[in-house]
Amino acid sequence: MLVSAADLLAGSHAGLVLLDVRWALGDDHGRERYLAGHLPGAVFVDLETELAGPPSSTQGRHPLPPVQRLQESARRWGITRDSRVVAYDATGGLAAARAWWLLAWGGLTDVRLLDGGLDAWRRAGGPVETGDVVPTAGDVTLAGGGLPVLSIDEAAALPSSGVLLDARAGERYRGESEPVDPRAGHVPGAVSAPTSDNLAPDGTFRSPDELRQRFAGLGVQPGGAVGVYCGSGVTAAHEVAALATAGIEAALWPGSWSQWSADPGRPAARGE
């Protein structure tokens, strides 16, 4: 699930594919930052065009890409059927988790997140290089369905039988602020669980025990049904990763609030 910078530095790089997924909402300079300095051999991954399908009001801002297109991208990144894949970013995995989730959903079993990302790598003394990396094309085959997903109707029904976690910042959940989607608020019955609380102060994931305690406090029961959403299904993948680290399987709702809030027939709750 996670690999530390120290273990990545010390381990064998045979068959290793590194994915640089630097992205943030409203920031389109990820590639420029990649070119200025990245892990040696890392390939840049564009979240908007390679880790999402075209945006729409019916599917959300970052719907899942078609499996065939994801496969074409993965082959461009140099992934083969025998590759070990590690994704990273410079924001504690908030963007890289989308690559981790998609590739695991596509059927890859050896895909991890660099715990703490680029900052942890630098703290461990890892080297960086500049410029672009164009790998030899891979031959991986992806199928989809490797991880559970929720439809909008399944997400709406989940609070009556399980826990639906809202991974956005608390002010967006409460409806105090909405910088990008059509309406403010949250899905009725959803529980506020900001993604930022998955991380320790140094940007690495909290320990499995800490994460288990966190999610238990939010009503997550062992073996219970758990779903996660955010604004558009990106940072929700980070929450799914945190839950997996704690030994809890959770389903991702790809459309998330961007899909829900675009439908005037769906109610929006406010407050805690």
CB 62 within 8 A of CB 234: yes
Q: Are the CB atoms for 67 and 203 separated by under 8 Å?
A: no
Tokens of 244: 């997996």
Q: Which of 230, 234, 244, 246 is catalytic?
A: 230
Q: For residues 113 and 1, is the Cβ–Cβ distance under 8 A?
A: yes
Residue 154's φ and ψ, nearest 5 degrees, are -65, -40
Q: Are 97 and 113 in contact (CB under 8 A)?
A: yes
CA atoms 74, 47, 262, 183: torsion sign: positive
Q: Residue 166 in contact with residue 83, Cβ under 8 Å?
A: no
- Asked if 14 and 41 touch (Cβ cutoff 8 Å), the reply is no
Beta-carbon contacts of 8 under 8 Å, excluding residues fewer than 6 positions away, are 86, 114, 121, 126
Sheet-wide strand order for 111-114:
2-3, 111-114, 84-88, 16-20, 43-44
CA distance 106 to 103: 5
Q: Is 230 a catalytic residue?
A: yes
Distance CA 44, CA 158 (A): 36
Give the catalytic positions in this structure. 230
